[in-house]
Structure 1
């Protein structure tokens, strides 16, 4: 299982990130760039196939 912290780091570094939330939300966790908040993250998988590539880039740095 992938941690929420890692999903946030991946979301912050993802060129394909598209927020699911189009309106203003009051909670910072609802605004956070995270895979969980990305329109391209469906059923626990990145449909743009960017997740693993970005995770590896983060690990190398």
Structure 2
């Protein structure tokens, strides 16, 4: 894998992490990326991600 491809994958994983922290579900992220949701859950287990947005209101 080239250095540029590795950096793009790193950026994609960081963006998925941010979306999960903001409250998006793995299913929503998978829909946007046109991949299976299990791939998102394997890449970043959402149980280990602490949300930064309040669930209230």
When the two structures are superposed, what TM-score results if normalisation uses the length of structure 2?
Answer: 0.26
Q: Which has the larger share of strand? A: 1
Q: Which has the larger share of helix? A: 2
When the two structures are superposed, what TM-score results if normalisation uses the length of structure 1?
Answer: 0.25
